[in-house]
Amino acid sequence: TFLIPLYLQNNLGYSALQAGMFFIPVGIIQGFCSPTAGALGQKINPKILIAGGLILMVLSFYLNIFLSFLTEKWYIMMSLYLRGIGMGILFTPLLTLSLARISVVQMAQASSITNIVRQMGGSFGVAIFSHMLTQRTSYHTQRYSEALNYTGEIYHQTIDKLSFFALQTTGTTEETAKSLAEQLIIKRLELEAYIGGINDDFYIASLTDAMEQYAAAEFIITEIRQYLNTKNIPYITENSY
């Protein structure tokens, strides 16, 4: 969640208020989906809702891998809406399953431990992804700097045009205008590297969620097979072929 506001403010020029406004519909969607998931969890297996929530989360993170300076508002909002729906249908059945076998006497302690674990997990996640963002930004900055041909014709043409623009708008000397042009190029390179670091973070997040989805799918398949075995209902396995 913290990566999108950073991207909006540092790369697209949004203010803190504008970036925060992006998440208001997400909260509304999540608030609507959570009770709906709770009602559905009484009619269908909650593990199905958990799997569906994880799939939407993976899709949302995957869409955020392709962020750039040209990313339009609707694309960002679509990924956030998917994430809001996924979180809404994920956490309610997940909390229900985690407390399903807890006695009434231990319910208060179990609920407190669950909230503490969620808060600690969120804190560790922010710390880890912040560190990864810094590392990947440094990596992309180095790669882009190495790829930039400071002696090439295109680079000098860009410097000349930016210097001319600085001369016309600021009225500075040629040396100062050239220095401003070089600073603009370096700033743009750093911003591109920052976007690359954010995309890498979302890529790792999508892989992590995909592994969680795989584990959840394996668990659901095991539960279904156990149910079929208790009912003596044959099911297809790899050995059936």
Q: Which residue has the tokens 């996640």?
A: 125
- Mean pLDDT throughout 122-128? 85
Angle at 134 between CA 133 and CA 140, to 5 degrees: 85
Please indicate whether residue 226 or residue 126 has the higher confidence score (pLDDT). 126
Query: What pLDDT does 196 receive?
Result: 93
Q: What is the pLDDT of residues 7-37, one digit of tens each?
A: 999 888 888 888 888 888 888 998 898 888 8
Q: What is the pLDDT of residues 145-202, one digit of tens each?
A: 888 877 778 888 888 888 888 888 877 788 888 888 888 888 889 999 999 999 999 9
pLDDT tier for residue 78 given thresholds of 50, 70 and 90: very high
**pTM value?**
0.78
Query: What pLDDT does 44 receive?
Result: 82
CB 58 within 8 A of CB 209: yes
Q: Which residue has the tokens 């009225």?
A: 171
Does the structure show a pLDDT above 80 at 95?
no
CB 37 within 8 A of CB 74: no
Query: What pLDDT does 226 receive?
Result: 62
Q: Which residue has the tokens 């810094």?
A: 134
Please indicate whether residue 215 or residue 95 has the higher confidence score (pLDDT). 95
Query: What pLDDT does 116 receive?
Result: 79
pLDDT tier for residue 135 given thresholds of 50, 70 and 90: very high
